[in-house]
Structure 1
C-alpha cells in the first residue's frame, strides 16, 4: 500500500506507534532531525515556490470570482524571504531547551522512596489548519522537538504547497521513527479522525471561527485553540499620542491577515479629538477602511460601524473604532465583544495599565505594545502550533511546553504499601527535595 492509498485510520495508527518510539529519542537525535528539515527546505526553494505558485494562481482566480478574500490569498503566498524565515524558525525550535524529561517536582515519601513528576510528550497531536503553508512546517517542527507524532491536515487552497513541504520533511527525517508525521488531505478524513479519541490525544484546529467551532462540536478529543481573534487596542487618556499612533498602526497594518492583528481601536474621549484625525489619515494612506461609532464620525469622516462590526474578525485592512468615556468603559466593551485573544492598553499611567491588565480575561494582555507580539516566535517559544484562548492545559501561543504533559515516576527499594497501613503504620515523610529523575536510557 502506498502512502497516498493509506486510510486516515492507518495513518493515525502508525503515528500512535511512532509516538511511543519518538518519546524515547534523545534531544540530540530530535535536534538533528530538525536541522535536517531546515537544510532540506533551504535546498528546495525552487520546487517549493513552483508548487506554491499553483496554489496562489488558483487562489487569485477564486478571489476574482468573489469566493476568496485578499487576506486568504496573502496568507497563501511564499517567497524566498518567507522560506528563509521558515528555516530560521525550524533552527530556532531545534535550539530551544529540551522540554522532555524535566523534573517538575520531587518528593521524598520515605527513605529510598522518591516520587518525581516528569515532563513527557502528549502523544499524537492532530492539527487541522487553513491557508498558511508555513503552518505545516511550524507544527511539524514543534511536534518533533517535543516528541509528539503529528497528523497534518491543511486546507485544499494550499494543497500543492503543503504536499511538497510534507514530502521534504518526511524524506529529511527518514531515520526517525517511521510515521511520526502523517499528512491527510481528503475532507472525509477529517470526520474520520474526529472519532479517533482512543488514538489521538489532542486536536489543534487553526482557521475560521465556524471551522474551529465545527471541530469542537464534533469530537470528544480535547481541542486546544481559539475560534476568533478579535483583538483590541485602547488609547488611554494618559497615552503618549505619538507612540500610540505608531503602535495602533503596527497592530493593524503590519500584517492584517493574522489573528493577532487589532480589529477594534478604542479611544478615550479626553484624547479623541487630538488623536483620531492624524490616526485615521495614516490608516487611509495604508488603505485601511475605518468604521466608526457616532462619536468617531463627529471627529473624522469614516463609514458608520454597526453592532456586527464590534464582534467581527476582519483579517483584512478594515478597522472599527469607538470613543469611550473611561477605562472602565473600555474594559466593558472588550469584555462584551472580545474573544479573549490579545488586548493592549497604550498609557503612561502604570496604575491604569495594571487595572486594565488585571481586569481582562484574555490570554495575552499588553501595555504599550502592539497586539502583533502575541506570537510563539516573538515570545521566545521558537514557534507555535496555535494560540489558545481556553484556560485548561495551555493558554496563549502554544509552543513546546504546551505540547507536553507529565507523569509520575516512583523510585523505591522493595517498598510495600502494607508498611504504611494498620496500627503499626509507618508515617510518610512527604518532603519536597531538590532532585532530578535521571533517564539512564537516553544517550546523546
Structure 2
C-alpha cells in the first residue's frame, strides 16, 4: 500500500499495472501478505486507536454543531463494541478462505482435442470511496490482496488520522511481501473524487461505503459499474403465529445492537390480529432500550391500552415519510397491516432491497414471504443484523450490494471475482464445422 498524492490518473495507471502482477501471484504469496498485514496492525494497536481518538474528538465537536451526523460518528469509532478485534479477525478469516483465483467452474469438450474452460479471475482495479469506517482500509486491503485485485481507496476527511495511521502500517507490512506497492493505494489528495470517477479506462468497479447522499452521487456521476446500496431500509413483518418472546428478542437485536448500521431494523410491520398479543411485549422491550416508537393509529391505540402509563406517554405519531426513512438511530416506525400479501407489497414498494425478515411459526407463510420479497437478504425468525460478510462466513466484506446483477448481499471474495474462458486446441478452425459431408460437428460434452 502507498499513501499517494499523485494525480488520479497516475494513481489509477499504477493500480492497473500492479493488478496484472498481483493477479499472477501464488495463493501462498497472497496469504503471506495477509499475515504481514495482521501482524503489523496488531503491533500498532495503540498508535492507531490514538489516531482514531483524535478523529473522534473532532467528529463529536462537528456533531454537536450539526455539521456531522451522530450515525457517522458511531461508524467512526474503531474501539467500539469489539470493532478492532473484528477487523483483525476478519483479516485472518479471509486468509484461511479457499483461494478464489483460477477455479475452473465449467469444462466442455467442444470436439476431440478442443476443450473449453471457464476460470475465475480478478475484476482488476477497485475504487473504494468511503466515509468514516476506518476498518474499511483493512477489510478492503485483505479482500483485494486475497482476490488478486488492486484497490484505490479514498476516505472522508472526518477520519483522516485513522486512515493515515492504518495505511502506514499496511504499507510497511506489504514492503516485506511480493505484493506490488501500487496494488493498494490510499489517495490523500483532496477533492479528486470526480476525476477518479472519470477513469473508466483504468478502474473496473466502484464500491461506495457511506451514506445515502454519497452513494447516490457516485451512481449518478460515473460510467464505471457501481456495486453497493444507497439505503438500508430494513423491515420485519410480525405475523400473528410468532412466538412472543422470540419475536421480541429478534426485533430488539435488529434495532438496538447497532442502530447506525445499514442492516438495522427501521420499520416494523405488525399484523392487525397480532396487535394485542404480540406487539406490547416487543414494544416494552424496545422502549426499555431507549427506542422511540413512531406508531400508526392502530398500533398506537393497542399500545396505549397495554403498556404502562409512563411508556405509553413516550409513543410518537408516525408520518408517511417515516415508512420511507432510514433512521440510523433509536427510532422505529410501526405500521399495522392485514397480512403477508400486504407486508410483501409494502416492503417491495418502500424498502431498499437490503434485508427483510418475517417472524412466524408457519413455514409455508415464511417461504411465501422469502420467495416474494425482492431483497438481497430475506430471513425467517432471525435478526436483520445477520446481513454481514463475517457472519456469513465470507471473512469480511467490501460492502452490501442491492444490485440485480453480479453480486448481491454481503460482498466477499466471490463478489470480487469474474471469469474468463480458455480454449485449448490443436489447430482447429471454425471453417471445419458446419453442414456437409466433410464438415465436423461440435460434441459439446460437459466434462465438469
The TM tier, using the shorter chain, reads over 0.9
TM-score with structure 2 length normalisation?
0.94
Q: Distance in 2 between matches of 1:381 and 1:281?
A: 35
Aligned to 1:17: 17
Q: Distance in 1 between matches of 2:68 and 2:430?
A: 64
Cα offsets for 1:132-174 (capped at 9, x unmatched): 1111211111111100000111111111111111121111111
Name which of 250, 257, 261 aligns with 2:260. Answer: 257
Given that residues 194 and 218 in structure 1 are in contact (C-alpha distance below 8 angstroms), is that contact kept between their aligned partners in structure 2? yes
Q: Distance in 1 between matches of 2:4 and 2:146?
A: 26
Q: Distance in 1 between matches of 2:232 and 2:447?
A: 42
Structure 2 residue 133 is matched with structure 1 residue 132: yes
Cα offsets for 1:172-205 (capped at 9, x unmatched): 1113112000111344211111100110000011
Structure 2 residue 379 is matched with structure 1 residue 343: no
Q: Distance in 1 between matches of 2:431 and 2:64?
A: 76
Aligned to 1:8: 8
Classify the secondary structure of the residue corresponding to 2:320: coil
Structure 2 residue 36 is matched with structure 1 residue 36: yes
Equivalent positions of 1:186-335 (< 5 A) are: 186-300=189-303, 301=312, 302-335=315-348
Q: Distance in 2 between matches of 1:271 and 1:359?
A: 22
Equivalent positions of 1:42-441 (< 5 A) are: 42-79=42-79, 81-174=82-175, 175=177, 176-300=179-303, 301=312, 302-421=315-434, 423=436, 424-434=438-448
Q: Distance in 1 between matches of 2:189 and 2:301?
A: 52
Given that residues 156 and 185 in structure 1 are in contact (C-alpha distance below 8 angstroms), is that contact kept between their aligned partners in structure 2? no
Classify the secondary structure of the residue corresponding to 1:55: helix
Tell me the CA shift for residue 28 of structure 1.
0.7
Q: Distance in 2 between matches of 1:118 and 1:148?
A: 16
Classify the secondary structure of the residue corresponding to 1:273: coil
Tell me the CA shift for residue 253 of structure 1.
0.5
CA shift in 2, pair 1:403/1:3, >3 Å: closer
Tell me the CA shift for residue 326 of structure 1.
1.1
Q: Distance in 2 between matches of 1:228 and 1:275?
A: 28
Aligned to 1:438: none
Given that residues 42 and 83 in structure 1 are in contact (C-alpha distance below 8 angstroms), is that contact kept between their aligned partners in structure 2? no
Given that residues 106 and 432 in structure 1 are in contact (C-alpha distance below 8 angstroms), is that contact kept between their aligned partners in structure 2? yes
Aligned to 2:308: none
Runs in 1 of length 4+ with deviation above 4 angstroms? none
Q: Which runs of 5+ in 1 are unaligned?
A: 435-444
Q: Distance in 1 between matches of 2:332 and 2:157?
A: 29
Classify the secondary structure of the residue corresponding to 1:179: helix
Given that residues 42 and 84 in structure 1 are in contact (C-alpha distance below 8 angstroms), is that contact kept between their aligned partners in structure 2? no
Larger mean Cα displacement after TM superposition, 271-280 or 310-319: 271-280
Tell me the CA shift for residue 421 of structure 1.
4.9
Number of aligned residue pairs: give it.
Answer: 433
Q: Distance in 2 between matches of 1:186 and 1:349?
A: 55
Q: Distance in 1 between matches of 2:115 and 2:90?
A: 39
Classify the secondary structure of the residue corresponding to 1:170: helix
Classify the secondary structure of the residue corresponding to 1:298: helix
Tell me the CA shift for residue 82 of structure 1.
2.6
Q: Distance in 2 between matches of 1:206 and 1:364?
A: 18
Tell me the CA shift for residue 296 of structure 1.
1.3
Q: Which runs of 5+ in 2 are unaligned?
A: 304-311
CA shift in 2, pair 1:187/1:321, >3 Å: farther
Tell me the CA shift for residue 216 of structure 1.
0.8
Classify the secondary structure of the residue corresponding to 1:299: helix
Q: Distance in 1 between matches of 2:291 and 2:382?
A: 20
TM-score with structure 1 length normalisation?
0.95
Larger mean Cα displacement after TM superposition, 146-155 or 182-191: 182-191
Q: Distance in 2 between matches of 1:304 and 1:187?
A: 43
Given that residues 259 and 330 in structure 2 are in contact (C-alpha distance below 8 angstroms), is that contact kept between their aligned partners in structure 1? yes
